[in-house]
Chains A and B, each alone.
Chain A
Amino acid sequence: MLGELILKTIIIVVVVNTVLAFGGFLTWVERKQSAVMQDRIGANRASILGLRLWGLFHILSDGIKMFAKEEFIPRTDHRKLFLVAPFIAWFFALMGFAVIPFSNTLHVAGYELSLQIANPQIGILFAFAMMGMTIYGLVLGGWASNNNYALLGAMRGAAQMISYEIALAAAVVGPLIVYHTLNMQEIVLWQAKLWGGWLPLWGIVVQPLAFFLFITAGAAGTKRVPFDLPEGESEIIGFNLEYSSMRFGAFMFTDFVEKILVSCLAVTVFLGGWQVPFLTENGFVFRGETLLALSPLVIWLIQPAAFFLKVCVVIYVLMLVRWTLPRFRYDQLMHLGWKIMLPLAFANIVITGFVLLVLKA
Protein backbone atom coordinates (compact mmCIF):
# COMPACT_ATOMS: atom_id res chain seq x y z
CA MET A 1 0.00 0.00 0.00
CA LEU A 2 2.72 2.36 1.04
CA GLY A 3 4.75 1.32 -1.97
CA GLU A 4 1.81 2.09 -4.21
CA LEU A 5 1.44 5.48 -2.52
CA ILE A 6 5.08 6.28 -3.09
CA LEU A 7 4.84 5.05 -6.64
CA LYS A 8 1.77 7.11 -7.39
CA THR A 9 3.37 10.12 -5.79
CA ILE A 10 6.41 9.68 -7.95
CA ILE A 11 4.23 9.33 -11.03
CA ILE A 12 2.21 12.41 -10.10
CA VAL A 13 5.34 14.43 -9.58
CA VAL A 14 6.82 13.19 -12.85
CA VAL A 15 3.65 13.82 -14.85
CA VAL A 16 2.92 17.23 -13.41
CA ASN A 17 6.46 18.40 -13.82
CA THR A 18 6.74 17.02 -17.30
CA VAL A 19 3.54 18.75 -18.31
CA LEU A 20 4.61 22.02 -16.77
CA ALA A 21 8.06 21.83 -18.30
CA PHE A 22 6.58 20.93 -21.62
CA GLY A 23 4.12 23.82 -21.30
CA GLY A 24 6.96 26.17 -20.64
CA PHE A 25 8.82 24.73 -23.56
CA LEU A 26 5.77 25.32 -25.73
CA THR A 27 5.93 29.04 -25.11
CA TRP A 28 9.26 28.97 -26.87
CA VAL A 29 8.04 26.52 -29.52
CA GLU A 30 5.11 28.72 -30.32
CA ARG A 31 7.31 31.70 -30.96
CA LYS A 32 9.88 29.78 -32.89
CA GLN A 33 7.45 27.84 -34.99
CA SER A 34 5.49 30.94 -35.96
CA ALA A 35 8.74 32.68 -36.78
CA VAL A 36 9.96 29.93 -39.06
CA MET A 37 6.57 29.75 -40.73
CA GLN A 38 6.73 33.45 -41.38
CA ASP A 39 10.32 33.55 -42.62
CA ARG A 40 11.48 35.12 -39.41
CA ILE A 41 13.89 33.99 -36.76
CA GLY A 42 11.93 34.49 -33.60
CA ALA A 43 13.02 35.06 -30.08
CA ASN A 44 16.76 34.56 -29.85
CA ARG A 45 18.17 37.38 -27.81
CA ALA A 46 18.11 36.00 -24.29
CA SER A 47 21.50 34.64 -23.43
CA ILE A 48 23.49 33.40 -20.50
CA LEU A 49 27.18 34.17 -20.74
CA GLY A 50 26.79 34.67 -24.45
CA LEU A 51 25.13 31.30 -24.86
CA ARG A 52 21.92 31.73 -26.74
CA LEU A 53 20.70 28.29 -27.67
CA TRP A 54 18.26 29.62 -30.26
CA GLY A 55 16.47 31.65 -27.66
CA LEU A 56 15.70 28.82 -25.26
CA PHE A 57 16.54 31.06 -22.35
CA HIS A 58 13.55 33.14 -23.20
CA ILE A 59 11.49 30.61 -21.28
CA LEU A 60 13.53 31.48 -18.28
CA SER A 61 13.56 35.17 -18.86
CA ASP A 62 9.82 35.19 -19.46
CA GLY A 63 9.32 33.40 -16.21
CA ILE A 64 11.52 35.83 -14.35
CA LYS A 65 9.80 38.70 -16.05
CA MET A 66 6.39 37.36 -15.05
CA PHE A 67 7.44 37.16 -11.45
CA ALA A 68 9.30 40.41 -11.38
CA LYS A 69 6.60 42.53 -12.89
CA GLU A 70 4.45 44.77 -10.77
CA GLU A 71 1.22 43.11 -9.95
CA PHE A 72 -1.79 45.29 -10.35
CA ILE A 73 -4.96 44.36 -8.56
CA PRO A 74 -8.04 46.36 -9.41
CA ARG A 75 -10.37 47.76 -6.80
CA THR A 76 -12.89 44.98 -6.55
CA ASP A 77 -15.28 43.42 -4.09
CA HIS A 78 -14.07 39.96 -5.06
CA ARG A 79 -10.44 40.32 -4.33
CA LYS A 80 -10.03 36.75 -3.22
CA LEU A 81 -11.76 35.40 -6.28
CA PHE A 82 -9.63 37.65 -8.38
CA LEU A 83 -6.50 36.32 -6.78
CA VAL A 84 -7.46 32.70 -7.02
CA ALA A 85 -9.18 32.56 -10.41
CA PRO A 86 -6.11 31.91 -12.57
CA PHE A 87 -5.08 29.06 -10.37
CA ILE A 88 -8.53 27.48 -10.52
CA ALA A 89 -8.18 27.32 -14.28
CA TRP A 90 -4.67 26.08 -13.96
CA PHE A 91 -5.54 23.48 -11.39
CA PHE A 92 -8.37 21.91 -13.34
CA ALA A 93 -6.35 21.89 -16.53
CA LEU A 94 -3.66 19.92 -14.71
CA MET A 95 -6.25 17.61 -13.13
CA GLY A 96 -7.18 16.37 -16.58
CA PHE A 97 -3.84 14.64 -16.90
CA ALA A 98 -4.72 12.28 -14.07
CA VAL A 99 -6.40 9.86 -16.39
CA ILE A 100 -4.11 10.04 -19.38
CA PRO A 101 -2.33 6.74 -19.92
CA PHE A 102 1.19 7.59 -20.96
CA SER A 103 2.27 4.02 -21.27
CA ASN A 104 1.21 0.41 -21.11
CA THR A 105 0.88 -1.37 -17.80
CA LEU A 106 3.97 -3.24 -16.77
CA HIS A 107 3.64 -5.99 -14.22
CA VAL A 108 6.76 -5.88 -12.14
CA ALA A 109 7.15 -7.60 -8.78
CA GLY A 110 3.45 -7.70 -8.21
CA TYR A 111 3.09 -4.02 -8.91
CA GLU A 112 1.20 -2.74 -11.88
CA LEU A 113 3.56 -0.16 -13.16
CA SER A 114 1.85 2.24 -15.48
CA LEU A 115 2.52 5.89 -16.31
CA GLN A 116 -1.00 6.72 -15.45
CA ILE A 117 -1.98 8.40 -12.27
CA ALA A 118 -5.44 6.88 -12.05
CA ASN A 119 -7.31 4.54 -14.24
CA PRO A 120 -11.00 4.89 -13.41
CA GLN A 121 -13.56 3.20 -15.59
CA ILE A 122 -15.01 6.57 -16.55
CA GLY A 123 -11.58 8.01 -17.33
CA ILE A 124 -12.54 9.96 -20.38
CA LEU A 125 -15.52 11.55 -18.68
CA PHE A 126 -13.22 12.67 -15.90
CA ALA A 127 -10.96 14.33 -18.40
CA PHE A 128 -13.86 16.16 -20.00
CA ALA A 129 -15.18 17.15 -16.63
CA MET A 130 -11.86 18.68 -15.65
CA MET A 131 -11.59 20.45 -18.97
CA GLY A 132 -15.04 21.86 -18.46
CA MET A 133 -14.13 23.10 -15.00
CA THR A 134 -11.42 25.42 -16.36
CA ILE A 135 -14.23 27.70 -17.50
CA TYR A 136 -14.71 28.62 -13.88
CA GLY A 137 -11.28 30.15 -13.67
CA LEU A 138 -12.03 32.24 -16.66
CA VAL A 139 -15.47 33.37 -15.64
CA LEU A 140 -14.42 34.09 -12.09
CA GLY A 141 -11.44 36.06 -13.31
CA GLY A 142 -13.58 38.14 -15.62
CA TRP A 143 -16.22 38.66 -12.95
CA ALA A 144 -13.84 39.53 -10.18
CA SER A 145 -11.93 42.00 -12.30
CA ASN A 146 -14.66 44.58 -11.77
CA ASN A 147 -14.24 45.63 -15.36
CA ASN A 148 -16.97 45.59 -17.97
CA TYR A 149 -14.66 44.55 -20.74
CA ALA A 150 -13.23 41.71 -18.69
CA LEU A 151 -16.72 40.57 -17.81
CA LEU A 152 -17.80 40.67 -21.42
CA GLY A 153 -14.71 38.71 -22.36
CA ALA A 154 -15.48 36.13 -19.70
CA MET A 155 -19.06 35.85 -20.93
CA ARG A 156 -17.86 35.38 -24.48
CA GLY A 157 -15.39 32.79 -23.24
CA ALA A 158 -17.99 30.88 -21.23
CA ALA A 159 -20.45 30.85 -24.10
CA GLN A 160 -17.80 29.73 -26.52
CA MET A 161 -16.35 27.02 -24.34
CA ILE A 162 -19.72 25.60 -23.42
CA SER A 163 -20.71 25.53 -27.08
CA TYR A 164 -17.62 23.68 -28.10
CA GLU A 165 -17.50 21.46 -25.03
CA ILE A 166 -20.72 19.89 -26.27
CA ALA A 167 -19.34 19.36 -29.74
CA LEU A 168 -16.17 18.00 -28.21
CA ALA A 169 -18.01 15.48 -26.10
CA ALA A 170 -20.37 14.55 -28.89
CA ALA A 171 -17.43 13.99 -31.21
CA VAL A 172 -15.93 11.48 -28.81
CA VAL A 173 -19.17 9.56 -28.49
CA GLY A 174 -18.61 7.93 -31.90
CA PRO A 175 -15.24 6.43 -30.99
CA LEU A 176 -16.58 5.39 -27.59
CA ILE A 177 -19.34 3.42 -29.31
CA VAL A 178 -16.66 1.71 -31.32
CA TYR A 179 -14.34 1.11 -28.36
CA HIS A 180 -17.20 0.10 -26.06
CA THR A 181 -15.41 1.47 -23.03
CA LEU A 182 -14.74 4.71 -21.14
CA ASN A 183 -11.55 3.45 -19.59
CA MET A 184 -8.63 5.27 -21.12
CA GLN A 185 -6.23 2.38 -20.93
CA GLU A 186 -8.74 0.11 -22.61
CA ILE A 187 -9.34 2.66 -25.33
CA VAL A 188 -5.67 2.60 -26.11
CA LEU A 189 -5.50 -1.14 -25.97
CA TRP A 190 -8.41 -1.42 -28.40
CA GLN A 191 -6.41 0.50 -30.93
CA ALA A 192 -3.71 -2.11 -31.02
CA LYS A 193 -5.78 -3.96 -33.58
CA LEU A 194 -4.62 -4.14 -37.14
CA TRP A 195 -7.07 -4.04 -39.97
CA GLY A 196 -6.18 -6.37 -42.79
CA GLY A 197 -3.03 -7.18 -40.91
CA TRP A 198 -1.29 -3.92 -41.70
CA LEU A 199 -3.46 -0.85 -40.98
CA PRO A 200 -3.50 0.02 -37.29
CA LEU A 201 -7.10 0.50 -36.31
CA TRP A 202 -6.58 3.83 -34.58
CA GLY A 203 -9.49 6.07 -33.80
CA ILE A 204 -8.55 8.30 -36.68
CA VAL A 205 -9.03 5.41 -39.05
CA VAL A 206 -12.35 4.27 -37.73
CA GLN A 207 -13.65 7.73 -36.91
CA PRO A 208 -11.99 10.29 -39.21
CA LEU A 209 -14.84 12.80 -38.97
CA ALA A 210 -14.87 12.54 -35.19
CA PHE A 211 -11.14 13.22 -35.14
CA PHE A 212 -11.57 16.27 -37.23
CA LEU A 213 -14.40 17.55 -35.06
CA PHE A 214 -12.43 16.77 -31.94
CA ILE A 215 -9.38 18.72 -33.04
CA THR A 216 -11.48 21.69 -34.08
CA ALA A 217 -13.54 21.74 -30.92
CA GLY A 218 -10.41 21.14 -28.89
CA ALA A 219 -8.72 24.15 -30.43
CA ALA A 220 -11.84 26.17 -29.61
CA GLY A 221 -11.85 24.82 -26.08
CA THR A 222 -8.31 25.99 -25.51
CA LYS A 223 -9.22 29.51 -26.70
CA ARG A 224 -6.57 29.49 -29.40
CA VAL A 225 -6.65 31.54 -32.58
CA PRO A 226 -8.88 31.33 -34.61
CA PHE A 227 -11.08 30.91 -31.55
CA ASP A 228 -9.42 33.43 -29.25
CA LEU A 229 -12.43 35.63 -28.74
CA PRO A 230 -12.36 35.45 -24.95
CA GLU A 231 -8.95 37.12 -24.98
CA GLY A 232 -8.67 38.99 -28.23
CA GLU A 233 -5.63 40.70 -26.80
CA SER A 234 -4.94 42.88 -29.77
CA GLU A 235 -8.25 44.68 -29.92
CA ILE A 236 -11.45 43.38 -28.31
CA ILE A 237 -9.60 42.45 -25.10
CA GLY A 238 -10.94 39.85 -22.74
CA PHE A 239 -11.33 38.29 -19.35
CA ASN A 240 -7.68 38.65 -18.37
CA LEU A 241 -7.65 42.34 -19.00
CA GLU A 242 -6.96 43.32 -15.41
CA TYR A 243 -4.41 40.62 -14.78
CA SER A 244 -0.75 41.26 -14.69
CA SER A 245 2.40 39.64 -13.47
CA MET A 246 2.31 35.94 -12.59
CA ARG A 247 -1.45 35.74 -12.40
CA PHE A 248 -1.60 36.71 -16.01
CA GLY A 249 1.16 34.19 -16.55
CA ALA A 250 -0.98 31.53 -14.92
CA PHE A 251 -3.81 32.22 -17.32
CA MET A 252 -1.44 32.13 -20.24
CA PHE A 253 0.14 28.97 -18.94
CA THR A 254 -3.26 27.35 -18.53
CA ASP A 255 -3.70 27.79 -22.25
CA PHE A 256 -0.60 25.79 -22.94
CA VAL A 257 -1.49 23.15 -20.38
CA GLU A 258 -4.93 22.81 -21.89
CA LYS A 259 -3.38 22.51 -25.28
CA ILE A 260 -1.25 19.64 -24.08
CA LEU A 261 -4.30 18.07 -22.46
CA VAL A 262 -6.34 18.29 -25.63
CA SER A 263 -3.43 16.86 -27.58
CA CYS A 264 -3.08 14.03 -25.10
CA LEU A 265 -6.78 13.27 -25.34
CA ALA A 266 -6.65 13.38 -29.11
CA VAL A 267 -3.68 11.05 -29.12
CA THR A 268 -5.30 8.70 -26.65
CA VAL A 269 -8.65 8.53 -28.37
CA PHE A 270 -7.73 8.85 -32.00
CA LEU A 271 -4.04 8.24 -32.51
CA GLY A 272 -3.56 5.04 -30.61
CA GLY A 273 -2.20 6.53 -27.42
CA TRP A 274 1.15 4.97 -26.60
CA GLN A 275 0.67 2.33 -29.31
CA VAL A 276 3.37 1.96 -31.86
CA PRO A 277 2.23 0.15 -34.99
CA PHE A 278 3.36 -3.47 -35.16
CA LEU A 279 5.00 -3.24 -31.78
CA THR A 280 3.68 -6.08 -29.69
CA GLU A 281 4.91 -7.22 -26.33
CA ASN A 282 7.57 -9.27 -28.10
CA GLY A 283 8.89 -6.60 -30.37
CA PHE A 284 8.01 -5.54 -33.88
CA VAL A 285 5.80 -8.10 -35.53
CA PHE A 286 4.49 -7.82 -39.08
CA ARG A 287 2.00 -10.40 -40.42
CA GLY A 288 3.09 -12.89 -37.82
CA GLU A 289 6.80 -12.49 -38.49
CA THR A 290 8.93 -11.06 -35.75
CA LEU A 291 11.06 -8.35 -37.28
CA LEU A 292 12.80 -7.20 -34.19
CA ALA A 293 12.64 -8.77 -30.78
CA LEU A 294 12.81 -6.36 -27.88
CA SER A 295 12.86 -6.75 -24.14
CA PRO A 296 9.65 -5.69 -22.35
CA LEU A 297 11.45 -2.85 -20.59
CA VAL A 298 12.61 -1.34 -23.88
CA ILE A 299 9.13 -1.68 -25.26
CA TRP A 300 7.80 -0.08 -22.14
CA LEU A 301 10.14 2.84 -22.72
CA ILE A 302 9.41 3.17 -26.45
CA GLN A 303 5.71 3.53 -25.84
CA PRO A 304 5.76 6.81 -23.80
CA ALA A 305 8.22 8.15 -26.33
CA ALA A 306 5.76 7.34 -29.09
CA PHE A 307 3.01 9.01 -27.09
CA PHE A 308 5.15 12.10 -26.67
CA LEU A 309 5.93 12.17 -30.36
CA LYS A 310 2.27 11.93 -31.28
CA VAL A 311 1.43 14.72 -28.86
CA CYS A 312 4.10 16.85 -30.46
CA VAL A 313 2.60 16.24 -33.91
CA VAL A 314 -0.86 17.21 -32.73
CA ILE A 315 0.49 20.33 -31.07
CA TYR A 316 2.35 21.18 -34.24
CA VAL A 317 -0.87 20.93 -36.20
CA LEU A 318 -2.73 23.05 -33.66
CA MET A 319 -0.05 25.70 -33.81
CA LEU A 320 -0.03 25.55 -37.57
CA VAL A 321 -3.71 26.31 -37.53
CA ARG A 322 -3.23 29.07 -34.99
CA TRP A 323 -0.65 30.88 -37.14
CA THR A 324 -2.51 30.36 -40.39
CA LEU A 325 -6.11 31.28 -39.90
CA PRO A 326 -7.50 34.64 -38.90
CA ARG A 327 -9.92 34.97 -36.05
CA PHE A 328 -13.60 34.17 -36.47
CA ARG A 329 -16.27 36.69 -35.98
CA TYR A 330 -18.38 35.87 -32.95
CA ASP A 331 -21.50 35.03 -34.95
CA GLN A 332 -19.42 32.82 -37.23
CA LEU A 333 -18.01 31.12 -34.16
CA MET A 334 -21.45 30.34 -32.81
CA HIS A 335 -22.69 29.34 -36.24
CA LEU A 336 -19.84 26.90 -36.61
CA GLY A 337 -20.27 25.47 -33.15
CA TRP A 338 -23.98 25.00 -33.01
CA LYS A 339 -25.05 24.66 -36.60
CA ILE A 340 -22.20 22.73 -38.14
CA MET A 341 -20.07 20.90 -35.61
CA LEU A 342 -22.83 19.72 -33.30
CA PRO A 343 -25.06 18.33 -36.09
CA LEU A 344 -22.04 16.72 -37.66
CA ALA A 345 -21.10 15.10 -34.36
CA PHE A 346 -24.62 13.80 -33.90
CA ALA A 347 -24.65 12.53 -37.43
CA ASN A 348 -21.39 10.79 -36.71
CA ILE A 349 -22.91 9.06 -33.70
CA VAL A 350 -25.92 7.92 -35.67
CA ILE A 351 -23.85 6.68 -38.58
CA THR A 352 -21.41 4.92 -36.27
CA GLY A 353 -24.22 3.18 -34.47
CA PHE A 354 -25.82 2.22 -37.74
CA VAL A 355 -22.57 0.88 -39.20
CA LEU A 356 -21.81 -1.10 -36.05
CA LEU A 357 -25.31 -2.56 -36.16
CA VAL A 358 -24.82 -3.55 -39.78
CA LEU A 359 -21.37 -5.06 -39.08
CA LYS A 360 -22.72 -7.06 -36.16
CA ALA A 361 -25.52 -8.34 -38.28
Chain B
Amino acid sequence: MGNITVKKIDTSRPMTFLERIYIWEILRGLWITNRHFVVNMFFHILNLFGIKTKRKGAVTIQYPEEHRGWHRRLRTRHYLARREDDSPRCVGCMMCETVCPANCIYIVAHDHPDPNVEKQADKFTIDMGKCVYCGFCVEVCPEDAIRMDSGHLEICSYTREDMIYHIDRLLEQHHDPSDYKNHEEWMEEYP
Protein backbone atom coordinates (compact mmCIF):
# COMPACT_ATOMS: atom_id res chain seq x y z
CA MET B 1 0.00 0.00 0.00
CA GLY B 2 1.24 3.34 -0.95
CA ASN B 3 0.81 6.24 1.32
CA ILE B 4 -2.46 8.00 1.01
CA THR B 5 -2.18 11.55 2.17
CA VAL B 6 -5.35 13.14 3.33
CA LYS B 7 -5.57 16.89 3.04
CA LYS B 8 -7.00 18.20 6.24
CA ILE B 9 -9.22 21.23 6.15
CA ASP B 10 -9.25 23.29 9.27
CA THR B 11 -12.90 23.65 10.16
CA SER B 12 -12.21 25.20 13.51
CA ARG B 13 -11.83 28.61 11.90
CA PRO B 14 -14.91 30.68 12.68
CA MET B 15 -16.66 31.90 9.58
CA THR B 16 -16.41 35.57 8.88
CA PHE B 17 -19.49 37.75 8.89
CA LEU B 18 -19.68 37.85 5.11
CA GLU B 19 -19.49 34.10 4.96
CA ARG B 20 -22.19 33.78 7.54
CA ILE B 21 -24.75 35.92 5.85
CA TYR B 22 -24.21 33.71 2.85
CA ILE B 23 -25.50 36.18 0.33
CA TRP B 24 -22.09 37.57 -0.43
CA GLU B 25 -20.67 34.12 -0.99
CA ILE B 26 -23.54 33.28 -3.27
CA LEU B 27 -22.87 36.36 -5.28
CA ARG B 28 -19.22 35.49 -5.46
CA GLY B 29 -20.13 32.06 -6.75
CA LEU B 30 -22.51 33.51 -9.27
CA TRP B 31 -19.79 35.87 -10.37
CA ILE B 32 -17.44 32.99 -11.06
CA THR B 33 -19.90 30.99 -13.08
CA ASN B 34 -21.02 34.11 -14.87
CA ARG B 35 -17.44 34.98 -15.71
CA HIS B 36 -16.92 31.53 -17.16
CA PHE B 37 -20.03 31.93 -19.23
CA VAL B 38 -19.04 35.29 -20.58
CA VAL B 39 -15.45 34.37 -21.33
CA ASN B 40 -16.35 31.07 -22.90
CA MET B 41 -19.14 32.60 -24.89
CA PHE B 42 -16.72 35.24 -26.13
CA PHE B 43 -14.35 32.64 -27.45
CA HIS B 44 -17.15 30.51 -28.83
CA ILE B 45 -18.28 33.44 -30.87
CA LEU B 46 -14.77 34.30 -31.96
CA ASN B 47 -14.19 30.67 -32.96
CA LEU B 48 -17.43 30.73 -34.89
CA PHE B 49 -15.93 33.41 -37.07
CA GLY B 50 -12.64 31.61 -37.29
CA ILE B 51 -10.73 33.91 -34.98
CA LYS B 52 -8.41 32.78 -32.18
CA THR B 53 -9.19 29.14 -32.86
CA LYS B 54 -6.35 27.99 -30.65
CA ARG B 55 -8.20 29.06 -27.56
CA LYS B 56 -11.33 26.97 -27.47
CA GLY B 57 -14.45 27.94 -25.65
CA ALA B 58 -14.74 24.51 -24.10
CA VAL B 59 -12.43 21.74 -23.02
CA THR B 60 -14.74 19.17 -24.52
CA ILE B 61 -13.30 16.71 -26.98
CA GLN B 62 -15.72 15.59 -29.63
CA TYR B 63 -15.13 11.96 -28.86
CA PRO B 64 -15.99 9.76 -31.79
CA GLU B 65 -14.52 12.18 -34.32
CA GLU B 66 -11.73 13.37 -32.11
CA HIS B 67 -9.64 10.91 -30.10
CA ARG B 68 -8.04 12.16 -27.02
CA GLY B 69 -5.19 9.65 -27.09
CA TRP B 70 -4.58 7.39 -24.16
CA HIS B 71 -2.19 7.69 -21.34
CA ARG B 72 0.18 4.77 -21.33
CA ARG B 73 -1.22 3.67 -18.00
CA LEU B 74 -4.77 3.49 -19.22
CA ARG B 75 -6.35 0.07 -18.94
CA THR B 76 -8.04 -0.88 -22.16
CA ARG B 77 -9.59 -4.15 -23.23
CA HIS B 78 -7.67 -7.31 -22.41
CA TYR B 79 -5.80 -9.45 -24.86
CA LEU B 80 -3.74 -12.56 -24.46
CA ALA B 81 -0.13 -12.09 -25.41
CA ARG B 82 1.97 -14.57 -27.34
CA ARG B 83 5.54 -15.66 -27.01
CA GLU B 84 8.16 -15.11 -29.67
CA ASP B 85 7.29 -18.47 -31.17
CA ASP B 86 3.69 -17.33 -31.44
CA SER B 87 2.34 -19.71 -28.82
CA PRO B 88 0.05 -18.19 -26.21
CA ARG B 89 1.86 -17.08 -23.10
CA CYS B 90 -1.03 -18.12 -20.92
CA VAL B 91 -0.35 -21.25 -18.91
CA GLY B 92 -3.81 -21.54 -17.46
CA CYS B 93 -2.77 -20.98 -13.87
CA MET B 94 -6.13 -19.38 -13.00
CA MET B 95 -4.55 -16.63 -10.95
CA CYS B 96 -6.53 -13.98 -12.83
CA GLU B 97 -9.69 -16.00 -12.43
CA THR B 98 -9.02 -16.19 -8.72
CA VAL B 99 -8.21 -12.55 -8.19
CA CYS B 100 -10.98 -11.20 -10.40
CA PRO B 101 -13.37 -9.23 -8.18
CA ALA B 102 -16.11 -9.30 -10.81
CA ASN B 103 -15.83 -13.05 -11.46
CA CYS B 104 -15.76 -12.40 -15.16
CA ILE B 105 -12.93 -14.74 -16.16
CA TYR B 106 -13.58 -18.38 -16.91
CA ILE B 107 -10.65 -20.70 -17.57
CA VAL B 108 -10.50 -24.35 -18.36
CA ALA B 109 -6.97 -25.72 -18.57
CA HIS B 110 -5.53 -28.86 -20.07
CA ASP B 111 -2.25 -30.51 -20.87
CA HIS B 112 0.05 -28.83 -23.31
CA PRO B 113 0.96 -31.04 -26.27
CA ASP B 114 4.65 -30.31 -25.64
CA PRO B 115 5.71 -32.40 -22.63
CA ASN B 116 8.15 -29.71 -21.53
CA VAL B 117 5.36 -27.17 -21.19
CA GLU B 118 2.92 -28.36 -18.66
CA LYS B 119 -0.31 -26.52 -18.82
CA GLN B 120 -2.27 -24.52 -21.31
CA ALA B 121 -5.56 -22.72 -21.23
CA ASP B 122 -8.14 -24.66 -23.17
CA LYS B 123 -10.88 -22.13 -22.73
CA PHE B 124 -10.19 -18.61 -21.65
CA THR B 125 -13.25 -16.44 -21.56
CA ILE B 126 -13.74 -12.93 -20.31
CA ASP B 127 -17.21 -11.55 -19.94
CA MET B 128 -16.61 -7.91 -20.80
CA GLY B 129 -20.11 -7.14 -19.66
CA LYS B 130 -19.03 -7.97 -16.13
CA CYS B 131 -15.45 -6.72 -16.19
CA VAL B 132 -14.76 -3.73 -13.99
CA TYR B 133 -11.37 -2.94 -15.55
CA CYS B 134 -9.58 -3.08 -12.22
CA GLY B 135 -6.49 -4.57 -13.83
CA PHE B 136 -5.91 -7.09 -11.04
CA CYS B 137 -5.65 -9.86 -13.59
CA VAL B 138 -2.79 -8.09 -15.31
CA GLU B 139 -1.12 -7.41 -12.02
CA VAL B 140 -1.35 -10.99 -10.87
CA CYS B 141 -0.37 -12.76 -14.08
CA PRO B 142 2.92 -14.56 -13.53
CA GLU B 143 3.48 -15.02 -17.25
CA ASP B 144 2.59 -11.51 -18.39
CA ALA B 145 0.06 -13.21 -20.60
CA ILE B 146 -3.01 -11.15 -19.97
CA ARG B 147 -2.52 -7.49 -20.76
CA MET B 148 -4.74 -4.50 -20.82
CA ASP B 149 -3.00 -2.30 -23.35
CA SER B 150 -4.78 -3.46 -26.45
CA GLY B 151 -5.83 0.08 -27.25
CA HIS B 152 -9.40 -1.05 -27.70
CA LEU B 153 -11.84 0.63 -25.46
CA GLU B 154 -14.96 0.85 -27.54
CA ILE B 155 -16.55 -2.38 -26.50
CA CYS B 156 -20.17 -2.37 -27.34
CA SER B 157 -22.53 -4.79 -28.87
CA TYR B 158 -26.18 -5.48 -29.29
CA THR B 159 -26.18 -8.76 -27.39
CA ARG B 160 -24.70 -9.97 -24.16
CA GLU B 161 -23.19 -12.92 -25.97
CA ASP B 162 -21.13 -10.52 -28.04
CA MET B 163 -19.63 -9.11 -24.87
CA ILE B 164 -18.20 -12.51 -24.01
CA TYR B 165 -14.72 -12.75 -25.43
CA HIS B 166 -13.41 -16.24 -26.00
CA ILE B 167 -9.80 -17.24 -26.27
CA ASP B 168 -9.58 -16.93 -30.04
CA ARG B 169 -10.84 -13.38 -29.93
CA LEU B 170 -8.60 -12.49 -27.02
CA LEU B 171 -5.60 -13.89 -28.83
CA GLU B 172 -6.16 -12.25 -32.17
CA GLN B 173 -6.18 -8.61 -31.15
CA HIS B 174 -2.84 -7.34 -30.02
CA HIS B 175 -1.41 -4.26 -28.54
CA ASP B 176 -2.17 -1.29 -30.77
CA PRO B 177 0.05 1.58 -29.70
CA SER B 178 -1.36 4.20 -32.08
CA ASP B 179 -3.56 5.90 -29.54
CA TYR B 180 -1.15 5.63 -26.66
CA LYS B 181 0.86 8.55 -25.46
CA ASN B 182 3.59 8.46 -22.92
CA HIS B 183 3.37 10.54 -19.83
CA GLU B 184 5.29 13.57 -21.13
CA GLU B 185 3.26 13.84 -24.31
CA TRP B 186 0.16 13.44 -22.30
CA MET B 187 1.00 16.17 -19.87
CA GLU B 188 1.88 18.50 -22.71
CA GLU B 189 -1.38 17.93 -24.47
CA TYR B 190 -3.71 17.81 -21.50
CA PRO B 191 -2.10 19.82 -18.75
Contacts and interface: CB of A to CB of B under 8 A. Distances in A.
Interface of A: 33, 35-41, 320-321, 323-325
B30 interface: yes
B59 interface: yes
B26 A39 contact: no
Interface stretch (B31-39, B83-91, B110-118, B125-133): B31-39
A157 B82 CA distance: 62
A36 B40 contact: yes
B59 A324 contact: no
B29 interface: yes
B60 A37 contact: no
Contacts of A323: 33
B57 interface: yes
Contact of A39 (B29, B30, B34, B36): B36
Contacts of A324: 26, 29-30, 32-33
B36 A320 contact: no
Q: Looking at chain B's contact residues, is the secondary structure mostly helix, strand, loop, or mixed? A: helix
Contacts of B26: 321, 324-325
B37 A36 contact: yes
Interface in B8-63: 26, 29-30, 32-34, 36-37, 40-41, 44, 57-60, 62
A37 B59 CA distance: 11
A38 B36 CA distance: 7
Contact of B37 (A41, A320, A321, A325): A320
A40 B30 contact: no
A324 B32 CA distance: 9
Contacts of B60: 35, 39-41
Given A320-B30, A321-B30, A40 B37 contact: no
Give the interface size bracket for B toward A: 10 to 19
B58 A40 contact: yes
A36 to B, nearest CB: 5
B59 A36 contact: no
A33 B30 CA distance: 13
B111 to A, nearest CB: 53
Contact of B58 (A36, A320, A321): A36
B63 to A, nearest CB: 10
Contacts of B57: 36, 39, 41
B29 A40 contact: no
A104 B57 CA distance: 40
A325 B37 CA distance: 15
Nearest to B43: A36
A320 B27 CA distance: 11
A96 to B, nearest CB: 27
Given A40-B60, A321-B26, 6 more contacts: A36-B37, A36-B58, A37-B33, A41-B58, A41-B60, A320-B33
Contacts of A321: 26, 30
Contact of B40 (A39, A320, A325): A39
25 contacts: A33-B37, A35-B58, A36-B40, A36-B44, A36-B57, A36-B58, A37-B33, A37-B34, A37-B36, A37-B37, A39-B40, A39-B57, A39-B58, A39-B60, A40-B58, A40-B59, A41-B58, A41-B62, A320-B30, A320-B34, A320-B37, A323-B33, A324-B26, A324-B29, A325-B29
Contacts of A37: 33-34, 36-37, 40
